[in-house]
Amino acid sequence: MATEEKPTSTETASNETTITQILDVVARAAPEIRAGLPGRRIYAEQNNPSGETPMEADIYADEMLCERLGDLDGVGEYASEERQEVIDTGSGLSVCVDPLDGSSNLKPNNTLGTILAVYDAPLPAAGSDMVAAAYVLYGATTTMITAYDDTVTEYVVQDDGEYEAVREDVTLPEDPSVYGFGGRVPEWIDPFTEYVREVESDPSMKLRYGGSMIGDVNQVLTYGGIFAYPTLTDHPEGKLRVQFEGYPVGYILETAGGRSSDGEQSLMDVEKDGLHSRTPVYVGNEELIERLEAALDD
Ligand code: F6P
């Protein structure tokens, strides 16, 4: 990383230019990350800061994104789920990356993603510091969803890294039809279980859960509905990370006209706490999240 030659903060490129460059780096890295997956479906030797054993593909994607994002003049800090500490890359915006969300899906060859959060503040940042968020989805095709400037856009990313907008001003469909809930069912708290039974009893709703948050969230963004990784009896804070998962999906779903919640408030209002802290995550259509919050409040 070329940190020494970087401009001082007054010379730093404008945030707008930097955000465009960050999104460009992530889109162009996507086909390379995808092409690097086949040989990296094995576990790495060290645990990540959350105590999970990453796949070699997680490390590969993290190193690529750290180097390329850190090289941008307007990026001052880089953090990822795979690293304990924030990397100082100069001065400018802060980026948080989940390089390969849902990497346990690598072995069974299911959907994976890369999640990006951009903050205009040092890390860990607050939800209100977020200036853009995006995710890449490695599914049957490679797509990228961005939320920036009050607009959500979907791009298709080609094998050569070129990308083209295929849906502009993406909003959640008004009539929801899918739901996906994580965590072991016996560990759900009773009010949540009752809420789930109510959702399941609606004949217009069907279960879609794939085990990669970003794949499941993208189903909600596409068809309307709700995704949750809830509070659990022995893990009240749930599983997902605030900086890397909670804030960016909250930002994207809210920009698309939906709602996000930690069970009581918008995900964007969750305390920032530590770099790797967790939060329950509930995102989807407004009416479904309102009913969820009411159920948990009883
Ligand atoms: O954060 C990691 C993650 O893989 C998410 O993408 C996903 O929603 C969740 O964990 C799946 O967890 P579980 O294996 O408990 O369903």
> Full-prediction pTM beyond 0.85?
yes
| CA 80 centroid distance within chain | 11
Answer with the one of 167, 197, 219 that is the final residue of a domain.
Answer: 167
What per-residue confidence (pLDDT) applies to 1?
Answer: 43
Residue 40's domain is classified under what CATH number? Answer: 3.30.540.10
Q: Which atom of ligand 1 is nearest to the CA of 105?
A: 4
Residues 56 and 117 grouped into a single domain:
yes
CA distance 16 to 277: 28
SS3 222: helix
Q: What is the pLDDT of residue 6?
A: 54
Let me know if residue 255 belongs to a domain.
Answer: yes
Residue owning the nearest CA to atom 11 of ligand 1: 211
How far apart CA 218 and CA 227 sit, in angstroms, is 9
Does one domain contain both 135 and 196?
A: no
Domain that holds residue 41: 9-167
The DSSP secondary structure of 233-287, one letter per residue, reads SS-TT-SSBIIIIIHHHHHHHHHTT-EEESSSS-GGGS---STT-B--EEEE-HH
Domain boundary among 167, 188, 215: 167
Q: Is the same domain home to 18 and 156? A: yes
Residue 172 lies in a domain: no
- On whether both 29 and 130 belong to a single domain, the answer is yes
**Domain end point (choices 167, 202, 236):** 167
Chain-centre distance for alpha carbon 31: 18
* pLDDT averaged per 10 residues, the chain (length 298): 49 82 98 91 78 87 97 97 96 97 92 98 98 97 97 97 97 98 98 98 98 97 98 97 98 98 98 96 98 96
- Same structural domain for residues 257 and 279? yes
Selection from 182, 175, 251, 184 nearest residue 220 by Cα: 175
Query: Domain check: are 23 and 114 in the same one?
Result: yes
Torsion of CA 116, 33, 238, 127, to 10 degrees: 0
- Residues 21, 157: one domain? yes
Residue 173 belongs to some domain of the structure: no
Q: 36 with 141, same domain? A: yes
Q: Is residue 4 part of a domain?
A: no
Q: Is the minimum distance from the CB of 106 to ligand 1 under 6 angstroms?
A: no
Domain match, 100 and 222 both: no
Closest CA to 197 of 185, 187, 211, 184: 185
State the distance from the centre of ligand 1 to the C-alpha of 233, rounded, in angstroms: 17
pLDDT at 62: 97
- How far apart are the CA of 183 and the centre of ligand 1, in A? 8
Instruction: Classify residue 54: in a domain, yes or no.
Output: yes
Q: Which amino acids are annotated as binding site for substrate, given as ranges? A: 101-104, 209, 239
Q: What is the CATH number of the domain that holds 229?
A: 3.40.190.80
Question: How far apart are the C-alpha atoms of 280 and 37, rounded to whole Å?
Answer: 29
Length of the chain: 298
Question: Residue 11's pLDDT is what?
Answer: 45
- Regarding whether 145 and 34 lie in a shared domain, the answer is yes
Query: Using CA atoms, how far apart are residues 274 and 272, in angstroms rounded to an integer?
Result: 6
Atom of ligand 1 nearest to the CA of 52: 2
What is the pLDDT at residue 27? 98
The span from the CA of 57 to the CA of 77, in Å, is 22
Q: How many domains does the chain have?
A: 2
